[in-house]
Amino acid sequence: MSKKEGKDKAAGVTYYTLFVKFSRRVPNPLNIQDEVRALYSDVLNVRKPRQKNARWILIDFETTEHAEACKKILEEKKHIATLPVKVKKLNIKQHDPADEKGDNERQDKLNNLARTTFQSSKLEKYSNKLLVTNIPKTITMEELRELFPGHEKIDLKQKPTTRAYITYSSAKEAMNMRMTLKPVIAREKFRVIVLLLNSDKVKKPQIKVAGTGRYFESSIE
């Protein structure tokens, strides 16, 4: 089963997650997803945290039997590639679609509260741009276009961190998208904020008046 198929299959259905903790961090060159599937093939998804110093991963399975079987293999081998597994920390948790529904309802309440707050304030200080952070490095322009319909422009940056700037026709359009958006990609939350307007005023140079301690703006440009 491919990684994408595993993610799609896990969405909206009950699945089981095996929490695996290591005695040292997961090195970046190591393809932990492929190493896990080499140990046990019936895996829905392998999730690695974004933190560079992370010492754990989450492995999703379709059934509790698959999760238990993989757990047993890890208890015997005690390693994934060269990474020592903390056997006593292995733990399986069930995820139910009802839990995801509850998360969505809580997100809706937060969006409604934020929408009410912004409606009562002025939009003049906000720009027509959204800043999107905490997104996967593998995200594509096509995925961003689907997530942010009605945009005028998308600028995807990869360095120093992966982020995107989404431009709309007005601050109101940008705010409406922020309020209605569900900020989740493959069950991982990302962050979206509406950028403030940059001041167009250029600060004029100031000249100190000798002996007074006062300053005035110079008309010289």
Asked: is 3-95 a CATH 3.30.1370.10 domain? The reply is no
Query: Could you say which of 1.20.1260.10, 3.30.70.330, 3.30.390.30, 3.40.50.170 is the CATH number of the domain covering 98-196?
Result: 3.30.70.330
Count CB-CB contacts under 10 A for residue 94: 11
Q: Output the pTM of the full model.
A: 0.44
**Structure letter (DSSP) for residue 170:** S
Domain boundary assignment for the chain: 3-95, 98-196
Taking 80 as the threshold, does the pLDDT of residue 221 lie above it? no
163-167: strand order across its sheet: 153-157, 163-167, 126-133, 191-196
- Mean pLDDT score of the chain: 77
Per-residue pLDDT tens over the stretch 130-163? 999 888 888 889 888 888 888 999 999 888 888 9
Per-residue pLDDT tens over the stretch 90-114? 989 887 766 555 556 666 666 665 5
SS3 (DSSP) at 189: strand
